[in-house]
């Protein structure tokens, strides 16, 4: 569901690249796309409307169509016997939902209640780095300031950045439809909705989801989430305080051996991750690993990952692969 | 000196806007601009080559032409009796140089030795916020992650962002001349030069200059400086740890009363500073003031200021105004 969206399109690319073992793929999207055809694995697939009947005919339902759709449809899909892999934030903090980054907490899929969720695109790279480090030395505090691309909002925001940029290049007035402020040649510390405590829901997610995924219910995490005029990939400047001293070399070694992470860290040669180099790649890229200048027990680093892939579609497919590997897909078990 | 550069042009705008009390203005730039005329206060001024004779005929020499030029020329200007206001980093950490943000440490101009320096454009907004807060409650630790515009590099980088953007809009290949990576629709954690400890000189400046300006030689400061595809204004996500608890309301009140600062903080109405709204303005804009979610004694906030104005030219002119007000301009004293 959401086959024509920014995440949905990448999802279908990855399904083909990874040869995901589907005997049949069915695609859903909003009413205006119904009947439109999309080619997957050389086969033309017509977009359908999602119905309870359709859910009863499939094993796994991927939803990347916004929280409201997830809230309405996921319980129906589960009732009809499918396992849901949901990209939205609708169920992530629900105790009955398995919120999973397979490299970090794949075990949390065991005993799932039908709905599994893909974490927020800025949470996933952070927990992938925190997990192996916390296994070595307890993490006390995390500060993360983000640089998030417009594709995190969706295709309409990619269009907005393109349109505004072209308007400025041509000297025309800038029009705004998606964001409250111009995004071309500008940026703003505002992603999703502000809450009473002055944090956005995006920032709160980074704290709450990290705690749930890492099983560290009291982990101190502070985030500032910023939208930047970049098309794809989210970057994060991260400062981690540990309960003791750990050297940058040791951190580099631990992360080099961690699944799904690629250390790209030779800054004096201009080698560090950038959004452009991470676009279309599966790994979380880590560079600028150094002692935090404000704390001898701290490490600072720079993370970049493709928010549409590891931040969304890829992680969803990896959850499905993990469900299959562990024989946790309900219908399959029933058959 | 540097009259045709990004800072030089803004400098001349501000001289006119503030009616800086100059009886005569003389302009210098590199050899290829000599003879070219620039209009200031309705008068056409021809660009000259900087010479010892010229220095002996003026009271104050502003230099915004790069560290090498400053290193070569500032001592000559001082020897000829002028006071130097230098924009570069050449002398900032020299114990004989007064490194000054007038609102913060104007008193450091007293007894100057001829060279005064404008702090780095990402240091100035930070110390303007830290000073009044530290006067109220001791600051223990500062983490600042920046979002710095290309104008900080100079006019050639503004051209590079414009050129690359136009190339991408037209579907042409992207050319690089100024930066090691594409800057259009991209960003990178690399400003100036990397040192052994993994920090850039830009990041080290934020620590060392803040300590000098605030007279806090042990202040713990950690920075990650990031270049973003924005034309003008630098933004900073700042996390401040205090020795005790201070509320966001109290911080808002202190900063609202601090000179040169404007609090712009009503995020649920979309009101927070952005680079675009700060461009061409004198103030340091502060928003997103909230308790740091990772420390009960911490405050997080978001700063934006025009790097060409308060980050460079304006602060330079304010130093000169302060020198005049305190009767600290050598030649004037001699006359």
pLDDT per position as a tens digit, A222-273? 999 999 999 999 999 999 999 999 999 999 999 999 999 999 999 999 999 9
Judge contact between A239 and A161, C-beta under 8 A: no
Residue B335, pLDDT score: 39
> Which of A73, A86, A21, A81 is closest to A57 using CA atoms?
A81
**Average pLDDT of the segment spanning A212-218:** 98
Q: Which of B178, B186, B279 to probe the A interface (max A CBs under 10 A)?
A: B186
> Which of A294, A198, A88 is closest to B143 using CA atoms?
A294
DSSP strand pairing (B43-48 vs B37-40) = antiparallel
Q: Where in chain B is the domain with CATH 3.40.50.720?
A: 6-119+312-333
Distance CA A248, CA A297 (A): 11
Token pair 């796309």 is at which residue? A33
Helix, strand, or coil (residue A326): coil
Token pair 């400025």 is at which residue? A168
Q: The dihedral of CA A84, A86, A91, A92: what is its sign? A: positive
Residue B332, pLDDT score: 47
User: Between A and B, how many CB-CB pairs are < 8 A?
Assistant: 170
The phi-psi region of residue B110 (left if phi > 0; otherwise alpha if psi is between -120 and 50; otherwise beta) is beta
Distance CA A105, CA A127 (A): 10
Nearest to A199 among B226, B274, B290 (CB): B290
Residue B141, pLDDT score: 98
Contacts of A135 (CB under 8 A, 6+ apart): none
In this complex, is the C-beta atom of B178 within 8 Å of any C-beta atom belonging to chain A? no
Nearest to B239 among A186, A222, A272 (CB): A222
Residue B189 C-alpha, separation from nearest chain A C-alpha, in angstroms: 8
Residue B184 C-alpha, separation from nearest chain A C-alpha, in angstroms: 8
- CB-based contact B270 A147, cutoff 8 Å: no
For residue A101, give Cα distances in angstroms to A88, A98, A233, A293, B228.
14, 10, 18, 31, 29
Q: The dihedral of CA B167, B173, B178, B182: what is its sign? A: positive
- CB-based contact B293 A221, cutoff 8 Å: yes
B121, HSE (Cβ side, Cα atoms, 13 Å): 33
Dig out the tokens for A99 from the structure: 């919120």
Dihedrals phi, psi of B282, to nearest 5 degrees: -85, -30
Distance CA B242, CA B295 (A): 9
- CB-based contact B295 A141, cutoff 8 Å: yes
**Average pLDDT of the segment spanning A149-170:** 96
- From the CB of residue B44, how many other CB atoms can be counted at a distance below 10 Å? 8
Distance CA B210, CA B113 (A): 21
- From the CB of residue A271, how many other CB atoms can be counted at a distance below 10 Å? 13
Residue B328, pLDDT score: 95
Contacts of A69 (CB under 8 A, 6+ apart): A1, A2, A63, A88
Which residue of chain B is at minimal alpha-carbon distance from A144? B145
In this complex, is the C-beta atom of B174 within 8 Å of any C-beta atom belonging to chain A? no
ipTM: 0.95
Contacts of A59 (CB under 8 A, 6+ apart): A82, A83, A329, A330, A331, A332
Q: What is the CA radius of gyration of chain A?
A: 20
The phi-psi region of residue B198 (left if phi > 0; otherwise alpha if psi is between -120 and 50; otherwise beta) is left
Q: Where in chain A is the domain with CATH 3.30.360.10?
A: 123-149+187-307
The predicted model scores a pTM of: 0.96
- CB-based contact A226 B237, cutoff 8 Å: yes
Helix, strand, or coil (residue B179): coil
In this complex, is the C-beta atom of A180 within 8 Å of any C-beta atom belonging to chain B? yes
For residue B283, give Cα distances in angstroms to A32, A283, B82, B309.
48, 41, 29, 9
Residue A331, pLDDT score: 55
In this complex, is the C-beta atom of B155 within 8 Å of any C-beta atom belonging to chain A? no
- CB-based contact B274 A187, cutoff 8 Å: yes
Judge contact between A27 and A3, C-beta under 8 A: yes
Distance CA B96, CA B84 (A): 12
pLDDT per position as a tens digit, B48-71? 999 999 999 999 999 999 999 999
Range 122-141 of B in CB contact (< 8 A) with A: 141
- CB-based contact B231 A181, cutoff 8 Å: no
- CB-based contact A298 B222, cutoff 8 Å: yes
- CB-based contact A188 B141, cutoff 8 Å: no
Distance CA A85, CA A99 (A): 10
Residues in chain A: 335
Which residue ranges of chain B lie beneath pLDDT 70?
A: 331-335
Which residue of chain B is at minimal alpha-carbon distance from A142? B294
Residue B110, pLDDT score: 96
The helix (run of H) or strand (run of E) holding residue A11 is helix A6-17
Contacts of A152 (CB under 8 A, 6+ apart): A121, A191, A227, A234, A307, A311
**Average pLDDT of the segment spanning A77-98:** 97
Helix ranges restricted to H, chain B: 6-17, 52-56, 67-79, 102-105, 123-136, 155-169, 201-214, 248-256, 275-278, 314-325, 330-334
Residue B305 C-alpha, separation from nearest chain A C-alpha, in angstroms: 13
Residue A281, pLDDT score: 97
Residue B331, pLDDT score: 55
Dihedrals phi, psi of B224, to nearest 5 degrees: -120, 120
Nearest to B294 among A188, A220, A248 (CB): A220
Distance CA B252, CA B265 (A): 9
B6-119+312-333 architecture in CATH?
3-Layer(aba) Sandwich (3.40)
Range 225-244 of B in CB contact (< 8 A) with A: 226, 228-231, 235, 237, 239
pLDDT per position as a tens digit, B253-290? 999 999 999 999 999 999 999 999 999 999 999 999 99
CA max distance for chain A: 62
At the fourth CATH level, the homologous superfamily of domain B123-149+187-307 is Dihydrodipicolinate Reductase; domain 2 (3.30.360.10)
**Average pLDDT of the segment spanning A64-79:** 96
Range 251-280 of B in CB contact (< 8 A) with A: 267-268, 270, 272, 274-276
- CB-based contact B270 A187, cutoff 8 Å: no
The chain-wide mean pLDDT, for chain A, equals 96
Residues in chain B: 335
> Which of B332, B334, B333 is closest to B22 using CA atoms?
B332
The residues of B carrying an active-site annotation are 121, 234
Distance CA B232, CA A320 (A): 45
């Amino acid at each position: 569901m959401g086959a024509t969206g920014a995440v949905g399109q990448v999802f279908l690319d990855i399904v083909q690249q990874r040869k995901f073992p589907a005997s049949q793929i069915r695609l859903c999207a909003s009413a205006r796309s119904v009947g439109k055809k999309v080619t997957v694995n050389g086969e033309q697939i017509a977009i359908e409307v999602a119905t309870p009947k359709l859910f009863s005919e499939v094993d796994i339902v991927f939803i990347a169509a916004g929280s409201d759709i997830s809230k309405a449809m996921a319980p129906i899909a589960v009732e009809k016997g499918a396992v849901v892999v949901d990209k939205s934030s609708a169920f992530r903090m629900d105790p009955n939902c398995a919120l999973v980054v397979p490299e970090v907490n794949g075990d949390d899929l065991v005993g799932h209640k039908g709905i599994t969720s893909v974490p927020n695109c800025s949470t996933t790279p952070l927990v992938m780095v925190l997990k192996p480090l916390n296994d070595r030395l307890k993490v006390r505090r995390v500060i993360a300031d983000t640089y998030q691309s417009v594709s995190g909002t969706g295709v309409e925001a990619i269009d907005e950045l393109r349109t505004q940029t072209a308007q400025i290049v041509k000297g025309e007035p800038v029009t705004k439809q998606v964001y409250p402020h111009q995004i071309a040649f500008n940026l703003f510390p505002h992603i999703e909705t502000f809450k009473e405590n002055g944090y956005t829901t995006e920032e709160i997610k980074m704290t709450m989801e990290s705690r749930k995924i890492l099983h560290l219910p009291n982990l101190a995490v502070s985030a500032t989430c910023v939208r930047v005029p970049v098309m794809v990939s989210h970057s994060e400047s991260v400062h981690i305080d540990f309960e003791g001293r750990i050297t940058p070399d040791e951190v580099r070694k631990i992360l080099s051996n961690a699944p799904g992470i690629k250390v790209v860290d030779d800054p004096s040669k201009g080698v560090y991750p950038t959004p452009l180099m991470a676009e279309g790649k599966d790994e979380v890229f880590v560079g600028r690993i150094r002692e935090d200048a404000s704390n001898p027990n701290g490490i600072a680093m720079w993370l970049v990952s493709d928010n549409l892939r590891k931040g969304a579609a890829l992680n969803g497919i990896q959850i499905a692969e993990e469900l299959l590997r562990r024989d946790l897909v309900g219908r399959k078990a029933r058959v």
